[in-house]
A and B are shown apart, each in its own frame.
Chain A
Amino acid sequence: MPERFTQLTSRTFVIPQDSIDTDQIIPARFLTTTSREGLGASAFYDWRYDANGAPIPGEALNSIDPQEHRILVAGDNFACGSSREHAPWALLDYGFRAVISTSIADIFTSNALKNGLLPITVDDATHARLLAEPAGRVTIDLEACELHIGNEAPVPFTVEPFARQCLIEGVDALGWLLERRDAIEAYEQRRAQELAA
């Protein structure tokens, strides 16, 4: 079950590049794991380390304090590509709790929400404002669905209501589905009859 999420105030970490795909977030050769743990070490690995595994000098991802920068602001079309849930696992383990972009891939969004990493899409103007101020202080208020940037008027955002509920109240989505066993069984019977007709 994901960690609860209500409010988060943090500095941003900005990667302005568009279409940061899931192979950048965690290269495929790190997917041979059978665990969810410890993937932060592989987050953005090929951006952080050279061919010999030495940290690339000047790469900001190697020097930030992840506790200080928990909100990733990324370019358009963030996390396109594979369905690997290892991508949100890696970002969370690295220290991020939220990602802001103008568009975020469907499967990634669904995966991230199930793990307590909040994906937020904003309009171009807000995005430009966030890109222009790396390490700016931002507050995400999930209960009010508002983004607070500096002293400016809050920016509203939307999150799928059920996923939001799960994050705020710690609802367990699988548990919720399991409670609906009767409806699932009834469906299976109905469908079997229809197909036999």
Chain B
Amino acid sequence: MSSTPDRPRTLFDKVWDAHVVSAETAAAPAILYVDLHLVHEVTSPQAFTELDERGLKVRRPDRTFATLDHSTPTLPPDARGARPYVTPAAAKQVETLQRNCAKHGVALAGWDSADRGVVHVMAPELGLTQPGMVVVCGDSHTATHGAFGALAFGIGTSEVGHVLATQCLLQRKPKRMRVTIDGVLQPGVAAKDLTLAVIAALGFAGGSGFVIEYAGEAIRALDMEERMTLCNMSIEAGARAGMIAPDDKTFAFLKGRRHAPQGDAFARAEAHWRELYTDDGATFDREIRLDARTIAPMATFGTTPDAALPIGAPIPRPRTESEQRALDYMHFKPGESATHEAVDVVFIGSCTNGRISDLRAAADVLRERQVAKGVRMLVVPGSETVRRQAEAEGLDRVFTQAGAEWRLPGCSMCIAMNGDFVQPGQLAISTSNRNFEGRQGKGARTILVSPATAAASAVAGVLTDPRTLAKELADA
């Protein structure tokens, strides 16, 4: 992996170059090697079927890890041990992955595993995700792993089959973009707020065709979980991936994790990882800069994640019919702010904000407080590891005493395919990543926010800047 210093390269270039099996030509894309392939039940069954039909094996089961997250119920099994699957099809999908993993020798964090979790929460916890890797998964939020200086991106089911069979993908090299964030975030402003501000600045397709490198003082100041929140939503600006150069925080996070290199091997790996940064003089196809000091707690108002504003700011006049349609769907009017509309559901969880620091942030707001009357609040830890940690810290009791439901790990209301969903017309305040029409259930209206904002909104019953709630308490 040692860099040849003949020309300055970006972080992305270095990782890309190290994985080229055969170079791109006019006629054919590059063959790119994959270090880590993450698998879940929804986007893999047809890929395994393809392998079986062709009589192929999984080339590198040792580089393939599977989990159950999307179709899985978050309520416990009944007295007879039966899981409350939403449909027989969901149960069959889970059984299919169990069977495929057993047949092909792929490790699965299944129901009986203490590791099981949302794929992008689980893999970093286990130390599977490491700097300089190419990580793929049949899931568009795979960019989460870019927080470690990995090149991580989502693929479709045909490509899942390609990686299972060959450990490789056919890829054209994307363009490079750098998003530099100067300054540091103000107290009470979360990584999710930064994330929504970046997406609002780029627009829903502003990152299309690019791999983004996030850089600058604000990024260095983020901890690893915050970096994951930021990289996670790169796809919401259309980007292929988001990456952050690894640093001491990255190495400290990885040290001692089960699948990270151990002992001397860790020191050797760290020496390689320390070369993963953008060289002075390397160029990007596009650069943008933002100032962290100007960012306030954010919330979306439309039906794409880039339609986001500081909480309380007036909703702008729609410029297109599609923007008008989005406001009509959300029942919002230009000039108003979304802070007057009664909230029906609050969801804390997902691969964006279902980690322990997210639950702590929400619990800090909810402690000694109650969820407002008429609001249903669901807290879903991102993994079994997060669940154990939260319960050890008593966070589950903070949530339940406030009137929220404490669930088993899974994607849950982020994608609403496991039976956890928002009713038609209801307004949901959610820490997940997509506010598309119907994403959280047919007719559901979604506002994306940080965990602290979600918790403050649960208490107030309307969309609320968590800093004002803290102030009310101080004044009382």
Q: A167-194: contact bitstring with B at CB < 8 Å (1 yes, 0 no)?
A: 0000001101110110110011001001
Instruction: Name which of A17, A19, A187 has the most chain B CB atoms within 10 A of its CB.
Output: A19
B168 and A28 within 8 A (CB): no
Instruction: Name the CB-closest residue of B to A173.
Output: B170
Residues of B within 8 A of A183 (CB): 21-22, 31
B335-343, B381-389, B436-444 - the one binding chain A: B436-444
**Taking the complex as formed, is A24 at the interface, i.e. its CB lies under 8 A from any CB of chain B?**
yes
What is the CA–CA distance of A28 and B235 in the complex, to the nearest angstrom?
18
B172 and A81 within 8 A (CB): no
Instruction: Name the CB-closest residue of A to B163.
Output: A177
Instruction: Name the CB-closest residue of B to A33.
Output: B89
Residues of B within 8 A of A165 (CB): 27
Chain B residue total in the interface (Cβ 8 A): 72
**Taking the complex as formed, is B272 at the interface, i.e. its CB lies under 8 A from any CB of chain A?**
yes
A24 and B438 within 8 A (CB): yes
Residues of A within 8 A of B235 (CB): 81
Q: B431-464: contact bitstring with A at CB < 8 Å (1 yes, 0 no)?
A: 0001011110011000000000000000000000
Choose one: B139, B157, B436; the contact of A21 (CB below 8 Å): B436
Residues of A within 8 A of B67 (CB): none
Nearest Cβ on chain B to A120's Cβ, whole angstroms: 16
Q: A98-119: contact bitstring with B at CB < 8 Å (1 yes, 0 no)?
A: 0000010111001100110000
Instruction: Name the CB-closest residue of B to A23.
Output: B436
Q: B26-53: contact bitstring with A at CB < 8 Å (1 yes, 0 no)?
A: 1111010100000000110110011000
Residues of A within 8 A of B162 (CB): 173-174, 177
A58-66, A72-80, A133-141, A142-150 - the one binding chain B: A72-80
**Taking the complex as formed, is A31 at the interface, i.e. its CB lies under 8 A from any CB of chain B?**
yes
Chief secondary structure at chain B's binding surface: loop
Residues of A within 8 A of B321 (CB): 16-17
Q: With contacts A18-B322, A32-B71 known, is A81 near B170, CB below 8 A?
A: no
User: Which residues of B417-434 have CB atoms within 8 Å of chain A's CB atoms?
Assistant: 417, 424, 434
**Taking the complex as formed, is B92 at the interface, i.e. its CB lies under 8 A from any CB of chain A?**
yes
Residues of B within 8 A of A180 (CB): 21-22, 31, 166, 168
Nearest Cβ on chain A to B352's Cβ, whole angstroms: 14
**Taking the complex as formed, is B114 at the interface, i.e. its CB lies under 8 A from any CB of chain A?**
no
Residues of A within 8 A of B246 (CB): none
Q: With contacts A75-B322, A165-B27, A184-B31 known, is A31 near B417, CB below 8 A?
A: yes
Choose one: B29, B87, B157, B322; the contact of A17 (CB below 8 Å): B322
Residues of A within 8 A of B208 (CB): 103, 105-106
What is the CA–CA distance of A162 and B31 in the complex, to the nearest angstrom?
12
**Taking the complex as formed, is B400 at the interface, i.e. its CB lies under 8 A from any CB of chain A?**
no
A107 and B434 within 8 A (CB): no
**Taking the complex as formed, is B96 at the interface, i.e. its CB lies under 8 A from any CB of chain A?**
yes
**Taking the complex as formed, is B2 at the interface, i.e. its CB lies under 8 A from any CB of chain A?**
yes
**Residues of A that sit less than 8 Å from B by CB:** 16-19, 21, 23-24, 27-29, 31-36, 46, 51, 75-77, 80-85, 103, 105-107, 110-111, 114-115, 160-162, 165, 173-174, 176-178, 180-181, 183-184, 187-188, 191, 194-197
13 residue pairs from A and B, CB less than 8 Å apart: A18-B320, A24-B437, A36-B46, A83-B154, A103-B205, A105-B208, A107-B154, A111-B156, A160-B172, A178-B166, A184-B168, A188-B167, A194-B2
Task: Given A114-B156, A194-B18, output 5 extra A-B contacts at Cβ < 8 Å.
Answer: A23-B434, A29-B417, A36-B46, A195-B269, A195-B272
| Pairs A-B, 8 closest by C-beta atoms | A111-B156, A18-B322, A34-B45, A83-B154, A85-B156, A85-B157, A32-B89, A114-B158
